[in-house]
């Protein structure tokens, strides 16, 4: 029943009682008959009943308001609490129900916001990492591009010296000059390999996605290294998980990564060495590849620097020191991770983790595309 | 067949003049132009059969220069020289009318082979289709 009606009822009772009391007082209590005196006592009782009803009603209203107030304070401090349902079905009960609904919706909204903030933080970290990589790529491309000009000049000048000397008759030091100029040209070719690799690194800021089978890609890459593998009689052990879920990523760039790491493994093992390649899933979030060799192994001091640019332990002239640096950058940009473990005397294992699907951080890819067009 | 006349367009003077000398060494009639503004007039005056065009010219897009040469109606072959070994450069140069693309620093033997090849191809097409221009239009 509505509160208003409850109040009207109580008020009506009071009115009736007051009028009656007035009448009785007017008559004087002694002048009453027994029946009338009985009626008087009944009226007093009714008045008391009315008072009790009204006080209870007031108390109930005050209590509900206090409860709501306390509940609201708890929400403000981040607490949540369940309350019992109100027994009566009046406006107070309705208010409490509405309030509880609002509280539930507020709670859901807060949870959604917290999730959204977490996602944003993640995206921001990705963007920063991607921006750093893009800056690095731009610097690398700029340096490579600038160096190409004087490099081309050196190439032509040394070439001209060689041309002149070869066509000269018998002159002193002819052979010496010829071999020296050839050496200059060979070293220019080394520089060119580095600048091209740096320029290639800059281009990797552009990612092209497709869905493909990682096992098939690894088989393809192993095929490229067939000559080296057969020459050294290296044994390739394949532990490729059957029915591996397909991956959506940049196939061309991953091809480069696997080529780099598998070739390193083949180079690291002795004659008839073993390279073990395994694929599988990781945590249901992505794929995991491991490339293990039974070569000599890598010292911890070297491992600490192994992903740095221009860091190589190969003899001069072999390798640019950029392979692992670029591979690391590619894997990170594709949302994955590249790690290495090694034990001296036992060998080295490279692990590549990749998500099933690359989550691109959009804008940088477009920027890099515009950049490289200017070169 | 006599060796083709070669014109080099590149604003890196040391590079262009040395390359030109080396081509002369190998029996080519070769000269170099260092400023983009002189390129088209030099082509009109000297009538080279092969043009080596640097894509990284100062002040003008190499691709625009390439299109301008093709549009000028001359029947020369254009080989593009660039510092960037990029797929999209190869594609764009081809579409703009280049006969070949070479990446700097250049290997002179490969350059000579490409000059001879593109020139003889162009020559053959010219003899069979006398009204055809070097960019394929009539």
From B46, B35, B27, B49, select the one nearest B108 (Cα to Cα): B27
Q: Is the model's pLDDT at A80 over the cut of 60?
A: no
Which value does ipTM take for this structure? Answer: 0.86
Over residues A343-359, the pLDDT tens digits come to 999 999 999 999 999 86
Residues of A (310-329) whose Cβ lies below 8 Å from B: none
Percent share of chain A, pLDDT over 70: 84
From B64, B61, B56, B98, select the one nearest B80 (Cα to Cα): B98
pLDDT the model gives residue A371: 33
Is A330 buried (19+), middle (13-18) or exposed (0-12) by CB count in 10 A? buried
Q: Which residues of B touch A148 (CB under 8 A)?
A: 83, 104-105
Are the CB atoms for A167 and B24 separated by under 8 Å?
Answer: no
Which tokens is B96 given?
């703009």
**Read out DSSP for A248-316?**
EE-HHHHHHHHHHHHHHHHHHS-TT-EEEEEEEEETTTEEEEEEEE-SS---HHHHTTTTSTT---SPT
What are the residues whose beta carbons fall under 8 Å from the beta carbon of A37, sequence distance 6 or more?
A29
pTM over 0.90? The answer is no
pLDDT the model gives residue B67: 92
pLDDT the model gives residue A366: 41
Instruction: Nearest chain B residue to A145 by CA: give it.
Output: B83
Q: Is the model's pLDDT at B56 over the cut of 60?
A: yes
CA dihedral A4, A9, A12, A18 (to 10 degrees): -110
Q: Which residues of B touch A192 (CB under 8 A)?
A: 105
Q: Which of A153, A157, A194 to mutate to test the interface with B (most CBs of B within 10 A)?
A: A153
Which tokens is A78 given?
């981040």
pLDDT the model gives residue A375: 30
Average pLDDT, chain B: 88
Cβ pair A148:B22 closer than 8 A: no
* Measured distance CA(A189)–CA(B82) in Å, rounded: 16
From A185, A136, A140, select the one nearest A160 (Cα to Cα): A185
Residue B33: pLDDT band (50, 70, 90) is: very high
What are the residues whose beta carbons fall under 8 Å from the beta carbon of A156, sequence distance 6 or more?
B14, B15, B18, B19, B22, B105
Give the range among A8-22, A278-292, B33-47 with minimum mean pLDDT.
A8-22
Q: Is the model's pLDDT at B48 over the cut of 80?
A: yes
* Measured distance CA(A8)–CA(A14) in Å, rounded: 10
* Measured distance CA(A66)–CA(B68) in Å, rounded: 85
* Measured distance CA(A152)–CA(B55) in Å, rounded: 14
B47 shares contact with chain A (CB less than 8 Å): no
Q: Which residues of A touch B12 (CB under 8 A)?
A: 149, 152-153
- Segment A289-301 shows an average pLDDT of 93
Give the range among A294-308, A336-350, B22-36 with minimum mean pLDDT.
A294-308
Is A208 buried (19+), middle (13-18) or exposed (0-12) by CB count in 10 A? exposed
pLDDT the model gives residue A362: 44
Q: What is the DSSP letter of A357?
A: B
Q: What is the DSSP letter of A341?
A: E
B136 shares contact with chain A (CB less than 8 Å): no
- Strand pairing partners for A280? A288
Cβ pair A156:B15 closer than 8 A: yes
* Measured distance CA(A285)–CA(A180) in Å, rounded: 56
A153 shares contact with chain B (CB less than 8 Å): yes
Residue B34: pLDDT band (50, 70, 90) is: very high
pLDDT the model gives residue A83: 55
- Segment A9-16 shows an average pLDDT of 80
* Measured distance CA(A23)–CA(A336) in Å, rounded: 94
Q: Is the model's pLDDT at A368 over the cut of 60?
A: no
Residue A150: pLDDT band (50, 70, 90) is: very high
**DSSP alpha helices (H): ranges in chain A?**
3-27, 34-76, 91-167, 174-203, 214-224, 226-232, 251-268, 300-303, 323-333, 363-373
Are the CB atoms for A60 and A32 separated by under 8 Å?
Answer: no
Are the CB atoms for A50 and A14 separated by under 8 Å?
Answer: yes
Cβ pair B86:A203 closer than 8 A: yes
Terminal Cα distance for chain A, rounded:
82
């Amino acid at each position: 029943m509505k509160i208003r009606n409850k109040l009207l009822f109580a008020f009506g009772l009071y009115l009736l009682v007051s009028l009656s009391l007035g009448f009785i007082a007017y008559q004087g209590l002694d002048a009453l008959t027994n029946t009338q005196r009985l009626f008087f006592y009944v009226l007093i009782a009714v008045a008391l009943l009315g008072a009790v009803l009204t006080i209870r009603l007031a108390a109930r209203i005050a209590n509900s308001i206090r409860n709501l107030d306390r509940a609201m304070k708890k929400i403000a401090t981040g607490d949540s609490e369940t309350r019992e349902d109100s027994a009566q079905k009046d406006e107070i009960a309705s208010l409490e129900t509405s309030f509880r609904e609002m509280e539930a919706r507020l709670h859901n909204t807060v949870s959604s916001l917290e999730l959204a903030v977490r996602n944003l933080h993640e995206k921001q970290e990705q963007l920063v990492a991607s921006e750093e990589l893009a800056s690095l790529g731009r610097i690398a491309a700029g340096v490579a591009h600038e160096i190409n000009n004087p490099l081309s000049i050196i190439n032509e000048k040394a070439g001209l010296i060689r041309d002149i000397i070869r066509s000269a008759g018998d002159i002193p030091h002819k052979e010496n000059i010829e071999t020296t100029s050839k050496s200059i040209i060979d070293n220019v070719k080394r520089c060119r390999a580095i600048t091209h690799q740096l320029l290639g690194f800059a281009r990797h800021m552009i990612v092209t996605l497709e869905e493909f089978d990682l096992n098939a890609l690894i088989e393809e890459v192993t095929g490229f290294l067939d000559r080296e593998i057969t020459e050294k009689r290296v044994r390739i052990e394949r532990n490729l998980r059957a029915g591996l879920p397909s991956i959506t990523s940049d196939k061309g760039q991953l091809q480069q990564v696997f080529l780099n790491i598998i070739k390193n493994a083949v180079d690291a093992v002795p004659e008839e060495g073993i390279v073990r390649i395994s694929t599988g899933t990781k945590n249901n979030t992505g794929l995991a590849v491991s490339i293990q060799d039974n070569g000599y192994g890598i010292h911890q001091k070297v491992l600490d620097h192994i992903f740095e640019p221009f860091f190589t332990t190969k003899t001069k002239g072999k390798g640019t020191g950029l392979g692992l640096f670029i591979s690391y950058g590619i894997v990170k940009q594709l949302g994955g991770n590249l790690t290495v473990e090694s034990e001296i005397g036992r060998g080295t294992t490279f692990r590549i983790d990749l998500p099933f699907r690359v989550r691109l951080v959009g804008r940088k890819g477009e920027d890099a595309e515009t950049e490289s067009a200017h070169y | 067949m006599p060796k083709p006349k070669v014109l080099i367009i590149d604003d890196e003077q040391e590079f262009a003049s040395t390359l030109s000398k080396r081509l002369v060494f190998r029996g080519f009639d070769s000269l170099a132009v260092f400023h983009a503004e002189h390129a088209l007039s030099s082509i009109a005056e000297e009538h080279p059969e092969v043009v080596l065009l640097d894509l990284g010219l100062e002040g003008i897009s190499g691709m625009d220069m390439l299109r301008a040469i093709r549009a000028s109606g001359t029947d020369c072959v254009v080989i593009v020289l660039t510092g960037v070994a990029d797929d999209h450069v190869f594609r764009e140069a081809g579409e703009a009318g280049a006969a070949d693309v070479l990446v700097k620093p250049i290997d002179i033997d490969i350059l000579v082979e490409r000059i001879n090849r593109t020139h003889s191809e162009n020559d053959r097409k010219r003899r069979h289709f006398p009204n055809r221009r070097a960019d394929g239009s009539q």
